[in-house]
Structure 1
Amino acid sequence: MQAEEKNSNKADIEALTRGDVSAFERLFKCLEPKLYAFAYKLVRNREDAEEIVQEVFLKTWERRASLDPAQGLEGYLFKIAKHLVYNKSRRHVYEFAFSKYLADYGIVAEDSTQTTLEHQELVELFEEICASMPPVRRQVFAMSRTEGLSNHEIATVLNTSNSNIENHINKALKLLREKFRSYDIVYAVVLAYLHSLL
C-alpha cells in the first residue's frame, strides 16, 4: 500500500513540476494532515499550524519546477515547515529582546504603545531594505534567512555557485547593517539579531 502511494506521489510530483494544479491538489490532500500534525506538535497552536501549512504549500507551488520526483515531497515539506517554525520562534525572541532593550534604557511608554510603534517601524524598515535589494539578492537572502536553506541548497535551486550565494548574503547583511546604523537606540539589538543570522 505504501509503495503504491509512493509511486502515485512520484507521478503527481512529476506532474506538479509541469504546473499541474490537479496534481498539486492531490498532493495537498495526501500530505496536509501529516504536515499539520507535525507543525501543531511544534507550535501547539491551531492557527499558527494552519498558517505554516499554507505557507509551506505556497512555497512548494512557487518552486514546483525545481522539485525532484525521485526524492519525494514529504521530507521537503517537513524541512520547510521546521524552518518556518524556527523563524517564527526567533521573531518572538527578537521582539522580546527589542522590548527589553527599550525598557532597560527607560524608553518604554507607560501603556507600551510607543514600544509597539517603534518595533513596527523597525520591522517595516527591515522589510523596506530587503525590498530595495536586487531581485536575485532578495530571493537568496529570503531562502537563506527565512527558509533556512544552506548555501549549497540555494545554489542548487538557482543553478549557481556557492561562492555567488555567499556573496549575495554578505552584501545583503552589509546593507542591513549600514541602514540600521543610524538607529542608535536599537543598533545594538539589530547587530545582535543580524549576528544570529550568520
Structure 2
Amino acid sequence: MFEITQLNEKELLMQVAEGNEFAFRRLFAAYHQRLGVHIFRITQSTELAEEVVQDVFLKIWMSRETLANVDNFKAYLFVISKNHALNCMRKVVKEQLLLKKLEASNVVPFKTDSNEADQYYNLIDEAINQLPPQQQKVYLMSRHKRLKYHEIADQMEISRETVKKYLQIATTSIKDYVHEHMEAITLVMALINFFYFF
C-alpha cells in the first residue's frame, strides 16, 4: 500500500485530473485496500465490495476533471463509495425479490454472462445520446426501426447521400466513444485484478 501525504495527494489529484494514468494507479494503490475493507464492513460481501471499489474508481476516472476541486480525497472517496454500496445493496435486494417472484411463478429468467455486456450496451446508449440530433435520428431509424436509406430520406426530407453520410459519421462516433470508455473500464479492471484486496 502506498502512503500519500496531504500535500502529495493534492498534487496527485491534479495530475489525475489532467488524465495522468500513472498518478491514477498510485491513487488507486494508496486507497483501494482501505476502501475495500470499509465497503466489506457495510456489505458483508467480498463480491459486492469488489464491485463497489471497481465502480467507484471507474467513476472517479471518468469524471477525473472534478478532482482538482477535492480538498479531502479520503472523505470524498468514502462518502461516494458508501452511497454506492447502499444503492448496490438495495439493487441486490430488489433482484432477489424479483427472482423469488419468478421462481414462484415457474418463470426462468434469461441469464446473460454479464456485467461486461451490460457496460458495453450502456456505453452504446451513452454514445447514441451524445450524437447531434440529426445523426441520432438517422442512426435510430436505421438500426432500431430497420428503415432503408430511401425511407429515412423521405421521412426526414433529406437526400439518400446525406442519410448515408450521417450514418457513417454516427457509427464511427459510437465506435470511438465505446472504444475509449471500454479502455477506461479495462484499466480499472486491471488495477482491481493487480491489487486484489482480499
> With structure 2 as the length reference, what TM-score do the two structures score?
0.50
User: Structure 1 length as normaliser, TM-score?
Assistant: 0.50
Q: Which has the larger radius of gyration?
A: 2
